[in-house]
Amino acid sequence: MSKRISAHLVIRYPRKSRKLTNTDRDILSGSQKPNLPKKYSGDTTLNAMTVEEEKDKLPDTIFTSLSEIKEGYTAIKQYGANLISLLADNLRGKALEFRITPSQIPEWEALNATFKNHKGLINYDMYITLQSYRAGLVKELSKVT
């Protein structure tokens, strides 16, 4: 007899943190717009091409995280999970949080574990950049269902 025993390795980066500044709080409350790099200011889409185009201009850590976002988006499409919403965290968690409805798909547990592991990968320094992707990402993800 011969069989394949499943294995799964996640390599993550620890969450970075710093104290919130007044500017952070203003951005959080919506009273001030984030000072986004010009390139990202009007960008409301996230797709493989966007990430690929931008990767050379971004620090490695940011690219890694954008890559993770892209991967998550791809995974949702691939598994066909019903999406309720995608929430950017409130800066206290300094992480993007994915919320998906289990739809009784066999892969749900693995997918859920994957997203739990993604939580915390994105730190505050990446948050501002990611904000410009958020609206487009939600829009794109809503098309999945």
Instruction: Give the interface with other proteins as residue ranges (CB under 8 A).
Output: 1-14, 64-65, 67-68, 71, 106-107, 109-110, 113-114, 117, 121
**Closest separation between CB of residue 90 and other proteins, Å?**
23
Nearest CB to other proteins, comparing residues 1 and 49: 1
DSSP for 15-41 reads PP--PPPHHHHHHHHTSS-----HHHH
Mark residue 32 as left, alpha or beta (left: phi above 0; alpha: psi -120 to 50; beta: remaining): beta
Distance (Å) of CA 58 to CA 61, 71, 130? 8, 17, 12
Nearest CB to other proteins, comparing residues 3 and 38: 3
**Closest separation between CB of residue 79 and other proteins, Å?**
11
Structure tokens belonging to residue 64: 């890694």
**Closest separation between CB of residue 85 and other proteins, Å?**
22
**Closest separation between CB of residue 117 and other proteins, Å?**
6
Nearest CB to other proteins, comparing residues 10 and 87: 10
Nearest CB to other proteins, comparing residues 10 and 84: 10
CA distance 66 to 68: 5
